[in-house]
Structure 1
Amino acid sequence: MTAPSTSGTTSGGRRRSALALVLVGFVLLLTACGGLSADEGGDSASADEYTALGTGKPATEADNAALEEVPESARDAYAGFWHSTRLGPNPYADWKPSEGPWKFCYSSSYQGNTWRQEGLAVAEGILEQLDEQGLVDGEMIVSDADNNASLQATQINTMVQKGCDVVLVMQPPTVGLCNAFESAKDAGALVVVMQTGTDCTNAIQSDFGSYFAGQTSATWLVEKTGGEGTVVMCDGIPGVAAAEARQAGATQVFEEAGLTVEHITGEWTPSTIKSQMLQYLTTHPDDVAGVWDGGVCAVPVTEAFEQAGRDLPYVTGFEGACAWLANWKKTGKESIGFTQGAGQGVVEAFKVSLRMLAGQQPKLNTLLYPLPEINASNFEEFYKPEMTLSSGCNAQPLDGESVPSSYYDDLFTGGDEPATFESRLDQLPVK
C-alpha cells in the first residue's frame, strides 16, 4: 500500500490538482519573498479564539476556561494541555468532505527508529482494510523529512499537489508548518497531526495527554528516590511539542520535590542516548538517584550504567518498549511506563479522520486521550518471554486500543457512522 512521494497523481488527486498547484505555488512564492513567516502567516484562524502555547508555564485564566469547555468524560486527558498545544474551536467547521474513495498520505518528520516504523506499518495495515471496503484511492504517499521542518513543509505541499484527501502528519515540529497546513486545508485536504502538539491552529490534533504522562512517571520516580539526590532527565527531540510537554510535566514535579535535575538530549535514538549518558557519567562521578525517560531511554541508559561500572538507579520507561520490559525482567529493577507505541497513535488518528470523512465535526481542534499505564501490578500481563533487549517492538494495550471508539462520542457532533477497522495491534510482531 505504500509508495514513495514521487508517485503519480490518481483519479482522486485530479479532482483538485489544479487548485492545489495554484495554492501551493502561491504559498511558496510568499514564503520565498518574506510575505509569510514559516510559523505565523499560514494560520487563517483568529489568534484570540485559541489559547496560547505555554510550555513550562502555569495555567492562565484562558487555559482554565478552555478546560471547562472540554466534555467532562474526556477532561482528565487534557490536564496541562497548554504545555503542548493550543485549544480552541474546530478549524474545519466549514469543511465538507469529498465523497470517497479518498487518497491518504503520511508525512513523517523522521522515520529513523523502530517506533516510527511501527506507526507506518500500522497505517499501511489500516489502509489495506479500508481499501477492501472500497474507500481508498490509489497508493498511500509517504515522506520522511529527517527532522527538517522546511523539507517537511515542502513534502506536505507536494502531497496537496498530488491530490491527497487526508494528510496524516507524524510528530512535526511545534512551529514551521502552519503555511503548509493552511494550503492543504484551502485545497480541501484534511490535516491530522499525530502524537505531538503544534502551535498551528489550522489542523486537527490527535494526541495523548503528554504533560500528564510526564508528571505521572516523574511522581513515581520521586517516591522511589525519597525526593533526594540528582535526577537525570533523558529528553527527546528539541522543538517537538510531545517531547517538551512531557519534559515540562516532569520538571515541575522534580522542582517541587527539591531534586537536582540534570539533562541529556537523546533525540529518541538509542545510540545517541547511550553516548550522551556515558559522557554524563564520565564527567559526573557523584551518585545518580534516578533517570527519567522521555522516550526510548531506559535500555540504552541501563547499558551506559553497566558499561561505566556504576550502580543502576531507578529508571522510568515511557512508550512501553518490549526491550524496556525485557530490561525490567533482567535487572529486576521496578519501573513505570505506558503503552504509547506509534501504532496506537496512528489508530486514534484514523478514528478521528474517518469520523470527519463521515461528516462528523469535532467540538475542538485538539482531541486528547489517556494512555494505559504499565506498572509493577500489571507487568506480567504485558511482558512476554520472547521479548529481548534488542526487541524493536512496543507493548500494546491489553484491550487492543488506547481508548474505545465510544470515547470520542462526546467530542464529536453530527454526521454519519464512520467506517471501521480492526487495530490489529496485537498482531504486531514481538521481535
Structure 2
Amino acid sequence: MKHFVVMTGLTVLLTSTALAETSAKRIALSNNYAGNSWRQAMLQSWETITKPAVEAGIVAAADAFTTAENQATEQAAQIQNMILEGYDAIVVNAASPTALNGAVKEACDAGITVVSFDGIVTEPCAWRIAVDFKQMGKDQLTYLAEKLPEGGKLLEIRGLAGVFVDDEISAGIHEGVAENPQFEIVGSVHGDWAQDVAQKAVAGILPSLPEDIVGVVTQGGDGYGAAQAFAAAGREMPLIIMGNRQDELAWWKEQKDANGYETMSVSIAPGVSTLAFWVAQQILDGQDVPKELVVPFLRIDQDGLEASLETTPAGGVANVEYSLEDAQAVIAAAK
C-alpha cells in the first residue's frame, strides 16, 4: 500500500502557494468520542500537525473539541456552538452518518466549510473522507480463506453501535462470509473498539459458543482483549484479526516468536484527522476539492510486524500523518 511521508518542516509548508488566503481562517475539530487508543492517537496527530500550521500563520486556529458521550444530540449542539463561535471550517468525526445532518446543514448555510472523516455524514453540502470500510471487512475473510481454506466457525467483534464505521465493516465481513460460505459467524458482540470492553464482551459470550472457533473477525482495538478472553477461558487460540494497536502487535509478536502464530492487522490510520485538516484548509484557500475522497487503510502482514511494532509507541496505534502535499495528492487523485 502507499505510505505517506510526514512533512514537519515549516519551510515546506510556507513555500506552498496562496497559503496567505487562509491565514485569518479558524478551523475546529468536532470529535464524538475519545475513549480508546485510536481516538487518543487521532487527537494527538491533529495537535502534532495543526500546532505548527497555526504557529506558521497558515491558519489562525485549529481547535479540537470532544463530546463527553458518543451522542449525536450532544455533538449536534457542539456544532451549533461552533457556528455561533464563527469558525470558518468544521472538521467532523461524526457519531452518526445522518443524525448530525441538520446541524451540518446549518453550518453550511452559515457559510462554514464542513469536512467529515472516519465517521462521515451524508449531508450533501459536506465533504467526506473515508476508507473503504466495507472492503476492510471483506479483506478479513479473504485472508481467512487463504489461511483456513476448510473454513469454520467465527466470532465477530463489532465497534460502537450505530456508528457508520461499525455498520460498514460489519457489512463487509458478512459479504465476505457470503462469498466464502465455508465460514459461519456463530456469535457477535460489541467491543466498542476498546480492548477492555472487548475482553469483557468476549468473556461473556464464550461459554455459549462452540469449542471449535477458528477465527475472530474484528474492527480494531479489540484483538488483544479477545486473545486475553480466550486465554483466560482455557480455549484454543483462534486466528484473531488485529487492528494496529500496540498491545495487539506486541501480543502477536510474542505468539509469533513462541509458536509461529500468524495473522494480519488492519485499520484506518488515526492520522486521517490531519488529512481532514489540510483538506479543509485547501477548500478555504479556494481550491476545487471533490466532495468524496478515499484514502487507503493501513495493513500490517506477518513479514511487516516487527518494523511496525518498532515504530508504534506503547499504548498507541500504528499511524500515518499527512502533510499538505499528501492532501494535495489525494485531492488530485480524486479528480
Give the TM-score range, shorter chain.
0.7 to 0.9
2:294 counterpart (368, 379, 397): 368
- In the alignment, residue 120 of structure 2 is paired with which amino acid? G
Q: Where do 1:374-385 residues align within 5 Å? A: 374-384=300-310
Q: Where do 1:18-417 residues align within 5 Å? A: 100-138=23-61, 140-258=63-181, 259-261=183-185, 262-318=187-243, 320-332=244-256, 333-338=261-266, 340-342=268-270, 344-363=271-290, 365-384=291-310, 391-397=314-320, 401=322, 404-405=326-327, 406-412=329-335
CA drift of 1:182 comes to: 0.6
Q: Which stretches of structure 1, 4 residues or longer, exceed 3 Å deviation after superposition? A: 97-100, 400-405
- Distance change (3 Å), C-alpha of 1:247 and 1:189: same
Q: Which residue of 2 aligns with 1:20?
A: none
Q: State the secondary structure of the residue aligned to 2:157.
A: strand
- In the alignment, residue 381 of structure 1 is paired with which amino acid? A
CA drift of 1:383 comes to: 2.0
Alignment root-mean-square deviation, CA: 2.3
- In the alignment, residue 273 of structure 2 is paired with which amino acid? V
Q: State the secondary structure of the residue aligned to 2:293.
A: strand
- Distance change (3 Å), C-alpha of 1:146 and 1:98: farther
Based on CA coordinates, which of the two structures has the bigger radius of gyration? 1
Q: Which residue of 2 aligns with 1:93?
A: none
CA drift of 1:197 comes to: 3.5
Whether contact under 8 Å (1:145, 1:152) holds in the other structure is no
CA drift of 1:100 comes to: 3.2
Whether contact under 8 Å (1:222, 1:254) holds in the other structure is no
CA drift of 1:127 comes to: 2.1
Measure the CA separation in 2 of the matches of 1:197 and 1:139.
19
Deviations 1:330-358 (A, max 9, x none): 1122111235332x211221231122122
- For structure 1, list consecutive stretches of 5 or more residues without a partner in the other structure: 1-73, 75-96, 413-431
CA drift of 1:145 comes to: 4.6
- Distance change (3 Å), C-alpha of 1:243 and 1:232: same
CA drift of 1:227 comes to: 4.1
Q: Calculate the TM-score normalised by the size of structure 2.
A: 0.85
Question: Identity of counterpart residues, as a percentage?
Answer: 25
- In the alignment, residue 212 of structure 1 is paired with which amino acid? Q
Q: Which residue of 2 aligns with 1:52?
A: none
- Distance change (3 Å), C-alpha of 1:213 and 1:138: closer
Measure the CA separation in 1 of the matches of 2:70 and 2:177.
29
Whether contact under 8 Å (2:37, 2:317) holds in the other structure is no
- For structure 2, list consecutive stretches of 5 or more residues without a partner in the other structure: 3-19
